[in-house]
Amino acid sequence: MLVDTHCHIDGDRFDEDRQAVLARARAAGVTAMINVGCDLPSSRRSLDLARTHPDLFAAVGVHPHEAKDVVDGFDDALVDLARDVRCVAVGECGLDYHYDHSPRHVQRTVFARQISAARRAGKPLVLHVRNGATDAPAFKEAIEILRSEGALDVGGVFHCFTGTLDEAKAALDLGFLLSFPGVVTFKNNGELSDVAKMVPGDRYVVETDAPFMAPVPCRGKRNEPAWVAHTAAFVAEVRGSKLSTVLEQTGANARRLFGLPL
DSSP 199: S
At residue 188 the predicted structure's pLDDT band, cuts being 50, 70 and 90, is: very high
Tens digits of residue pLDDT in 216-230: 999 999 999 999 999
Distance CA 123, CA 87 (A): 8
pLDDT of residue 132: 82
Strands 2-7, 30-36: pairing is parallel
Collapsing DSSP to helix, strand or coil, 170 comes out as helix
pLDDT of residue 135: 64
- Residue 94 dihedral angles phi and psi, to the nearest 5°: 150, -140
Tens digits of residue pLDDT in 93-106: 999 999 999 999 99
| Of 64, 39, 60, nearest in space to 51 by CA | 60
Tens digits of residue pLDDT in 101-159: 999 999 999 999 999 999 999 999 999 999 986 666 899 999 999 999 999 999 999 99
At residue 6 the predicted structure's pLDDT band, cuts being 50, 70 and 90, is: very high
Cα distances from 199 to residues 46, 67, 128, 202, 248, in angstroms, run 30, 31, 19, 8, 15
- Residues facing 57 on adjacent strands: 34
- Give the mean pLDDT of the chain: 97
Tens digits of residue pLDDT in 39-86: 999 999 999 999 999 999 999 999 999 999 999 999 999 999 999 999
Residue count (the chain): 262
Distance CA 104, CA 60 (A): 21
pLDDT of residue 104: 96
* Alpha helices (runs of H) in 33-134, residue ranges in sequence order: 40-52, 74-82, 104-121
Residue 57 carries which side chain, given as an amino acid letter?
F
Fold of 2-258: TIM Barrel (3.20.20)
Is the pTM higher than 0.85? The answer reads yes
